[in-house]
């Protein structure tokens, strides 16, 4: 029986890097009796590395629902050729909080005739909260809540559970604790100090020189003042309209003269104060200790070993915020100007094409007139007049 290693995230734990690494090295994996199968379908704005995303359709009746059966058919085919299958999608941790999800998913794998092993990376909850808020402000659904309000309300935990002990026990009730591989997302805890080596170790492989690596992958956080500006933009009701493009990242790139957003320097401030961070993490200490003992078999009960670097809490400075707001406005102007120039160039090209078509049509019209004149002259020529007279005479004789 083949084993499926289902990597379920969590988000913000290097999942994009892993999902680029796996397809790049599929041939090597195959040589070791592993496969990272590619799906015959795609989801908008998702790479091939997220080959387990179809599992989110577990209760979906939309046009994509058929992908559920197609996905398991691909896994079954791969299992007939390989002893180990690697699947990955970072939203499965959050999806697993829904009633019925793991019941349906584990049933799907059982019917496919494979053994299911869950691989999950966990990051400190305070860092997850900051990262999750940042992501929602810069992307969709265009969050306008301030960080303190966001954390106090706790609404994000409905979509991204931070009580890791409860989430893991929920999964364990379907697959068993022995079939869950938990890793802490801390560089100091990675095998060989490498996320790729650590992930391969989790699924029973070792990192060697034969593997290729993706280019540096960064899902960049925006500079703190720019995040605040984006949050304020999000308060505009018309901007929240789904039809309004969320091109803010490109505007930032223009504003700061960057080739890529990952050139932005690391953060020098946080969203928690030192006391707020300590208080926030206290809530999760018992659950984290439980995870360390029950899933990592650590008598110390320490899930996370690295203390975050102390950072002062972000407090907006009006002068600096105004400076960055002007910079962002300038970036937006540059972006729109370049888009306008692109459209202008396209219109000019279309006009040139229209002129060429009009000239061609005029030439064809002139040729048609010449041809008509030639036909008229031929029709009225002496031979044709004689031919018509002869034809009429024969018709008269026949009558």
pTM: 0.80
Dist. CA 102–CA 96, nearest whole Å = 6
Please state which of the ranges 65-79, 168-182, 266-280, 382-396 shows the lowest mean pLDDT: 382-396
For residue 392, what are the CA distances in angstroms to 376, 380, 387, 389?
A: 20, 16, 9, 5
Task: Report CA Rg, the chain.
Answer: 32
Instruction: Give 213's DSSP letter.
Output: -
Mean pLDDT of 93-122: 97
Model pLDDT for residues 288-309, shown as the tens digit of each residue: 999 999 999 999 999 999 988 8
Average pLDDT, the chain: 89
Helix (H/G/I), strand (E/B), else coil: 292: helix
d(Cα 204, Cα 176) in Å, to the nearest integer? 19
- 224 CB-near residues (< 8 Å, 6+ apart): 267, 269, 314
**H/E segment holding residue 125:** helix 125-138
Q: Where are the domains of the chain?
A: 3-220+272-310, 338-398
Q: Which of 266, 46, 242 is nearest to 139 (CA)?
A: 242
Total count of residues recorded for the chain = 399
Nearest residue to 14 via CA among 214, 253, 266: 214
Token duo for residue 103: 């019941």
- With bands split at pLDDT 50, 70 and 90, how would you rate the model's confidence at 330? confident
- pLDDT number for residue 246: 67
3-220+272-310, what's its fold? Rossmann fold (3.40.50)
pLDDT at residue 263 tops 70: no
Cα of first residue to Cα of last residue in the chain, in angstroms, is 95
Contact 21, 195 (CB under 8 A): no
């Amino acid at each position: 029986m083949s084993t499926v290693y289902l990597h379920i995230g969590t988000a913000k734990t290097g999942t994009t890097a892993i999902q680029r690494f796996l397809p790049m090295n599929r041939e090597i994996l195959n040589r070791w009796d592993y496969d990272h199968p590619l799906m015959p379908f795609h989801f908008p704005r998702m790479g091939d590395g997220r080959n387990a995303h179809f599992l989110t359709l577990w209760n979906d009746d939309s046009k994509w629902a058929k992908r559920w059966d197609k996905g398991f058919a691909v896994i079954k085919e791969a299992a007939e050729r390989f002893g180990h299958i690697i699947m990955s999608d970072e939203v499965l941790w959050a999806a697993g909080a829904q009633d019925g999800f793991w019941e349906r998913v584990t049933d799907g794998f059982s019917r496919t005739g494979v053994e299911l092993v869950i691989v999950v990376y966990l990051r400190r909850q305070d860092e997850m909260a900051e990262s999750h808020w940042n992501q929602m402000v810069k992307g969709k659904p265009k969050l306008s809540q301030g960080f303190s309000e966001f954390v106090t309300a706790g609404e994000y935990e409905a979509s991204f559970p931070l009580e890791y002990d409860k989430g893991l026990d929920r999964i364990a009730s379907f697959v068993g604790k022995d079939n869950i591989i938990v890793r802490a997302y801390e560089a100091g805890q990675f095998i060989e100090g490498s996320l790729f080596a650590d992930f391969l170790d989790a699924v029973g492989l070792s990192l060697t020189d034969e593997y290729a690596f993706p280019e540096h992958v960064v899902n960049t956080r925006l500079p703190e003042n720019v995040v605040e500006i984006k949050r304020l933009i999000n308060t505009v009701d018309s901007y929240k309209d789904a039809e309004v493009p969320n091109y803010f990242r490109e505007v930032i790139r223009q504003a700061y003269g960057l080739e890529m957003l990952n050139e932005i320097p690391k953060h020098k401030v946080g969203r928690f104060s030192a006391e707020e961070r300590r208080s926030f993490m206290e809530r999760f200490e018992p659950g984290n200790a439980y995870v360390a003992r029950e899933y990592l078999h650590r008598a110390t009960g320490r899930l996370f070993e690295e203390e975050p670097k102390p950072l002062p809490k972000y407090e907006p400075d009006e002068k600096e915020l105004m400076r960055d707001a002007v910079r962002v406005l300038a970036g937006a102007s540059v972006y729109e100007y370049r888009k306008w120039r692109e459209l202008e160039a396209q219109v000019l090209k279309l006009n040139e094409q229209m002129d060429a078509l009009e000239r061609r049509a005029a030439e064809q019209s002139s040729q048609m007139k010449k041809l008509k004149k030639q036909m008229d002259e031929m029709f009225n020529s002496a031979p044709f007049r004689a031919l018509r007279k002869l034809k009429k005479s024969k018709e008269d004789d026949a009558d």
